[in-house]
A and B are shown apart, each in its own frame.
Chain A
């Protein structure tokens, strides 16, 4: 299958093989220069690999944007215990579909990245924790891993270098929270997928109680390119603080939704109007969620000057997150949208911390009541209060994520709530 939409403004590094079903074959990957970066990394040594990734400024693509090289350098230099690398392929953020494509079209790129990262942090075993619903991607990945083992890229004495690295693919059970790094570890250990209290941090006490590092699929997929071409090469794209390219998952009311690999700092309106062909059916833009469902909503006015890098989106009042751009046109019912997102968080809350367990459910009930036309004006203050009590009071940030769209939508689209409360109908309703 050819990839549905591409744009000439893209810089296709990670996504260059999207739409090309031959690229997932190991021979084809090697023929296109695959596993050269692994060979080069083994020659450089772990410390030099970490330095190169630090120099590239590659930031974690899972949402937090923490510099990957710095994260690796937290691991003990002289292993006294087994180290583990965990690849987070539990892509579950509503609006995000980049990791799935990276695994489907270019599994060897990920495997090579995993091997290099494991080598850099001195891990002999890496786990790829893949989302349970990813049936096809996990089959593709399993086949690729089998081939890589057969070719001697994974396992004992890789490429005759004397390095041993094993990779295990572990499918999750389908819980959103297992994408949180410590919940992922619990899940991997066979426990309930619940986030752990930090500290201790994973680099000290991680999976199975050993030093561990968790990296996102996209982060690890970028690593072979950085090792091949050097950190400086990677910095030719993006901004000073957010270098490199990023996959933008655009969904919602645009003419051409899809994955687009663009340099960081790309203007949001260019992304919507140029790359994605504009808002669907010539409608006006109402709002955009720039980084997956857990970040504050931006109004059309705020989008106008927003640049899509970590700092630019923060300046506009939201977060880049995993760069999942959800576009909403003028017909969108914001209250209903927010209710649907909060309902998702209610369903996915692990239930450990009280503010999240109770708060997400209460929010859902209140929003549903407003939607059903039984809202009261004081409900908005109650929603804002509970959002405050759910922010920064829990072990992980799931409840913060549920609160963010509620707060931003009440502040920015208060009229829509008041329309429901006073007249029992949505603003856009005919």
Chain B
């Protein structure tokens, strides 16, 4: 292929590659599926070229070169698997192994550790060192981070993250040479910083571990499910790591247009609510004062019968934690039942927490994932910044009251007691559900497929990570069945079909499909500015 002024063609392991000028050998190799071992290089940080693990042979150069900082040149012939390259990397790995404690059985990183991976792939079969190992011991870095000095490979990713991305330099290298080690400044640990959990992800070995996750699960027992962080309106791409039908930890998922490689500590550690046990498990229908558990078919029939008798306008409460599909189905049902008003409530934090080194990324004030989606289907926000109040009109409404997702924690037992039809689609019972004619169990975002629309109008998909409890079903399925039954149309049988119905109803979503959204999402409203709420 001929080079243009902006591109360079070279050969890596016999494969011809054309990449933009200024690309490093490591990046060019990655683009053709050649993975070169590395510790200190990370695409989101500067490259100090100090781990020396990414050494490769470049034809015509007498010594191995660090591929993370060596830029491609026209006609370059790179060999990552030549005897020279393999010998150089095996040597470096042997150096790493000298003082490593090899405590994999009690190390949290075991199973996803790049020391294990590289040693198995390219290291020597047996170590030759018979010398006593250097011992550093452990240190509490504050916040959620524990430091195991003996496992450290001195890649300084953590130091560089705090310096370059969080821009609050709390970590440094102290001492020199073989005695050098990562440390905090006197008593000033990571306490009080808001993004330090990322250094645990960055650590290629088990030197930095999360206190929250410590000894909780082994890496190979965890199921990884792509998801969207539900804790603010930024819509960071995450992975839910689950075992025993419980979320064990949250990890960031790369998406350069939303969150890069990072997530905030608030989002990372705020997942216990997903694991709450006191869930609604069966549809409850109140007949003559007593609530009776029923199957879905009977409950739906009872709902439709009662709805047919209740002609008054609808007042609905939605939740910004519900998916776009759920909200669309709710809006369709409200319309089908004669139209009315939809409101939602959400908690607002006092301030944004921006990540200085990654413009556009912040823990937003709005502590819910889908307020934008609620607005797009016609809901409007009520209540205070603490997420309470604002439901006076709904509580005493004498027509149809529908509640989706909002647990109504601040409401009293007389909520909806005057309603001709009060249906509660939720995950948990509360005093305010006592008067409900129908208490119908629905799933959380972690138990269903769906999409959220972030603060900037970006629609992003998430996938089911957990099994729903009992007979709980996605709200779009329940609400969609009600609408279809009344209309005599075909209900949506999948989240994708439900999204299709939403796209037909709401112009903002028009033209989008699940396939198009993929794992990266797409922006529905180009007019919505991406920075700031």
Contact = CB atoms under 8 A, between A and B. Distances in A.
Interface of A: 175, 192, 197, 346-362, 365-366, 369, 378, 382, 385-386, 388-395
A355 B178 CA distance: 10
Given A361-B178, A388-B87, 13 more contacts: A197-B47, A351-B177, A351-B179, A353-B50, A353-B51, A354-B50, A354-B52, A356-B177, A357-B178, A358-B96, A362-B95, A362-B131, A378-B128
Contact of B154 (A354, A366, A389, A390): A354
B510 interface: no
A204 to B, nearest CB: 14
A389 B177 contact: no
Given A354-B95, A355-B91, A392-B63, A346 B177 contact: yes
User: Which 4 A/B pairs are nearest by Cβ-Cβ distance?
Assistant: A389-B91, A392-B63, A351-B180, A358-B95
Interface in B291-332: none
Given A392-B62, A393-B64, A351 B154 contact: yes
A407 to B, nearest CB: 14
Interface of A is mostly: helix
B92 A389 contact: yes
Contact of A192 (B98, B99, B173): B173
Contacts of A394: 52
B88 A393 contact: yes
Interface string B137-181: 000000000000000011000000000000000000101111110
Contacts of A353: 50-52
Interface of B: 47-53, 55, 62-64, 66, 69, 87-88, 91-92, 94-96, 98-99, 128-132, 134, 153-154, 173, 175-180
A358 B178 contact: yes
Given A393-B88, A394-B52, A382 B128 contact: yes
Nearest to A175: B176
A110 B63 CA distance: 37
A351 B131 CA distance: 19
Contact of A369 (B49, B50, B131): B131
A357 B47 CA distance: 18
A353 B96 CA distance: 11
Given A362-B129, A369-B131, A382-B128, A350 B176 contact: yes
B177 A349 contact: yes
Contacts of B66: 197
Nearest to A195: B50
B64 A389 contact: no
A385 B88 CA distance: 10
26 contacts: A175-B176, A346-B178, A347-B177, A348-B177, A351-B173, A351-B179, A352-B48, A352-B50, A353-B50, A354-B51, A354-B52, A354-B53, A354-B153, A358-B95, A358-B99, A361-B134, A365-B132, A382-B128, A389-B87, A390-B91, A393-B55, A393-B63, A393-B64, A393-B91, A393-B92, A394-B52
Contact of A355 (B47, B69, B92): B92
Contacts of A378: 128
B63 A197 contact: no
B95 A355 contact: yes
